[in-house]
Each structure stands twice: as structure tokens, then as C-alpha cells.
Amino acid sequence: MDRAESDEKVRVILIIGQGDTFSSGFDLKDQMEKAPRGKQWKPILELDHRTIMRFWNSPKPTIAAVKGACLAGAFELSLACDFTICSKDSFFGEPELKFGAGIVTMLLPWVIGMKAAKAIILLGKDDISASTALELGIVTEITENDKVLEAGRIAAEKNGFTLIELLLAISIFSVIGLASYQLLQSAIEGKKRIKQSTENVLAIARAVDIMTSDFSQLVPRRIRNNYGEWLAPLIFEEDNYLVEFTRAGWPNPTGKKRSTLQRVAYSFDYDDRTLTRHFWEVLDRAEESKSVEEVILSNVEECLIVPVLDESTQEQVILTQGDSQSYLPMAIEISIFFESSPAVLRTIRLVKNAPSSYFEGSEKGTEKNAET
């Protein structure tokens, strides 16, 4: 085998049997005469294993031309070859378990699959016909009984490669394989980026829709906080909120006895980079009232919410009092910045003619539309 692999003139290694049969496997009589015991079996089995695997790992194409019996170790040797051509009267099998021996190399599951291999090995089958072997993928081709050697030589002439040709073929396949892998990897990464980009766009659109719905229905209705103190209809940058305000149009599909007005706030967490919407289920809060929170946008670098004022509006009044519609700004400007996406800039005009029932009442807290 060493000489065949090192000789550049040898293009293919062809294995044939002497006489009318290929082989029934390793010479068990010779092995048993040596009477090996315990650990003495290890070097014997290792030699048998290396002998077969030389054909499996050979750098040159290997062909087994099989006639008659091909059993046990010989069967495993034929499995290790790249091509197996057999005669019509050939038969194959792994009878080792019938006489207490074992399989030297477990190649059969690699060739025909685990289930089919178990059926042959565990039952010790030694009568697998040539046609069955072809169906299972054990052999490559079946030919007439007297033409096996000729078929093997023809196959050798067709499939032989010089060492240079073999190295060139391996190099070409390596380049093609690497290019295919890189192309596939690029396609997968591109699909992931497109999916992530689409999800980001949809998340931003949803957040902007929510904020637009809130601010476009802002009304001048002040509320009482958890301690009974008045809070203006619109407050900027207080109590860790970017903005807090009262809005109308809170849907009530189940007809609960509650106001259609809602107190809403937005906060931005610089550490978690999240924009959160808060709302309270009552307008004028009790001491134990808490807001309901929902993160509407993630991976935000910065978020700014500022009023757009006209010439007649005093900013300090908006931030502290706001007891009528005239103290509300003309619009609200929202700026949301991202690390890897374009910034979102949106200006939302406020309703100029809010219903009079939304306006605040006296300092005693009696509201014209006292809904909590």
C-alpha cells in the first residue's frame, strides 16, 4: 500500500481476490493459534483496523473487484474503497457475532445508515445478494461473473488521477466550497439584517403612532397628584418624566364607568436606552395610585420632547399653571435619535378648540367635567 500510494505512476489502487472468491475476512485460525488473551488482543485488532482504514484514507482512488464471498473483514475492506464492483453471484455479510467475534471497523452505518446496519450486524447476516447490496449502496456496479476484473480495470482507467491532478481537483473543490460557504453566509447575514431593519422600522412607526395619538388629543385638564396637589395639564421634565399631560379620547369599548380622559407620561432611560409610556387609570390620583408602564421603543440613543411656542405664549405658565386653552403650546416637537438608524423628527399640532368641559374648575378642585 505504501508503494502504491508513493508511486506517481500508480493512478488507482485495484483490490481483487485470488481464485473464485474475494475473501471471507481475516484469518481467524492464525489468530487463534497464537492464543491471545485479554490485552493481547489490542495490537491484533489495531493492526486489522489500520489495514482497512488505509483504503478509507488513501489519497488515491480505490476500487474493490468482488467475486463470490465477501464477508467479515473483507466486507469492511470493500466498504472502505471508493468503488465496489461485484459479480452477480457475489454475496456479502457480517457474520462475526455468530462465533463470538466483533466488528473491527464500524463503517457499515456510514454507508447504508444506522437502522439497516444494525439489522445486518446484530443478526450476523452473511447472505446479502449482489442486487440487495446495490440497493443498499454497498456496491457501485454489478457485472457478469467472468467480467469483474475487466470492469474493475475499466473503472480504474476512467477514474484514475495523477497526484498532481488529484491535488488540483482538491484545490478547485476547496475554492468552490469556500466561495459557496461565504456566499451562503453572506445571504444568511443579509437576511438577518433585513429582518432586523424591518422590525426596527415597524417598532419606530408604532411608537410614533402612539405618541401622535396621545399628543394630538392633549387637553387643558389639570389633575391632582397622589398628595392632593394640583398638576398642570402639561408638564415637562419633572419627576423623571420627559413630559406628563392629560389627553382625551381614551377608548372605552366595554363601557366602564370611567372618564374618557387619561393622564399620560413619557420617560427615557439612558442606561437601558428605552422609551417608556406611562398612564394612570384615574385622573385625580389616590395616595396608592400607580402608573401602568409600557416600553414602546428600545435601542434609543436620546429622546427630546419640547413645546413649540407662539409669540403670545409664556413658557413658565405652560410648565406651572395652564388654567385655560390659551396657555397650551402650538405644537409638540419630538426628536428620537438612534445609533444605527436615521433620527425621527415629528411635530404634532395640538387641538385649538378643545371642548369647554375639559377646562379646569376652581382651586377647590370642583371640575366642570369631574371624572376620575
Find out whether 68 and 21 touch, Cβ atoms under 8 Å: yes
Grid cell listed for 298: 428600545
Q: In which domain, by residue range, is 137 found?
A: 2-161
Q: In the listed set 161, 176, 204, which residue is the last one of a domain according to the structure?
A: 161
Of 130, 149, 58, 29, give the one whose Cα is nearest residue 89: 130
- Confirm whether 167 is domain-assigned: no
- Confirm whether 32 is domain-assigned: yes
108 and 216 share a domain? no
**pLDDT for residue 357:** 45
Strands 292-297 and 274-280: antiparallel
Of 98, 52, 99, give the one whose Cα is nearest residue 78: 52
**pLDDT for residue 326:** 42
Find out whether 162 and 92 touch, Cβ atoms under 8 Å: no
Quote the number of domains for the chain: 2
Find out whether 17 and 23 touch, Cβ atoms under 8 Å: yes
**pLDDT for residue 28:** 63
CATH code for the domain in which residue 344 is found: 3.10.610.10
227 and 345 share a domain? yes
CA distance 259 to 283: 8
Give the DSSP per-residue string, 193-225.
Answer: HHHHHHHHHHHHHHHHHHHHHHHHTB----EE-
Strands 69-71 and 91-93: parallel
265 and 351 share a domain? yes
11 and 126 share a domain? yes
Alpha helices, DSSP H, located in the chain? 2-6, 28-33, 41-56, 72-80, 108-112, 114-122, 130-136, 148-159, 163-216, 315-320
109 CB burial (10 A radius; 0-12, 13-18, 19+): middle
pTM: 0.47
- Confirm whether 243 is domain-assigned: yes
Strands 344-349 and 331-338: antiparallel
**pLDDT for residue 35:** 59
**pLDDT for residue 60:** 80
217 and 287 share a domain? yes
130 and 230 share a domain? no
CA distance 223 to 323: 11
CATH code for the domain in which residue 8 is found: 3.90.226.10
Q: In the listed set 95, 127, 161, which residue is the last one of a domain according to the structure?
A: 161
- Confirm whether 364 is domain-assigned: no
Angle at the Cα of 332 (from 312 to 268), degrees rounded to 5?
A: 135
The count of C-alpha atoms lying within 13 angstroms of the C-alpha of 202, restricted to the half-sphere facing its C-beta, is 6
114 and 12 share a domain? yes
Contacts of residue 362, defined as CB under 8 A and 6 or more positions apart, other chains included, come to none
Find out whether 125 and 94 touch, Cβ atoms under 8 Å: yes
CA distance 149 to 64: 10
- 10-residue stretch averages of pLDDT, the chain, 372 residues long: 74 80 73 65 80 84 86 88 88 82 77 89 89 90 77 60 64 86 89 88 93 92 89 88 92 84 94 94 88 93 88 48 56 90 89 51 38 39
Find out whether 281 and 292 touch, Cβ atoms under 8 Å: yes
48 and 156 share a domain? yes
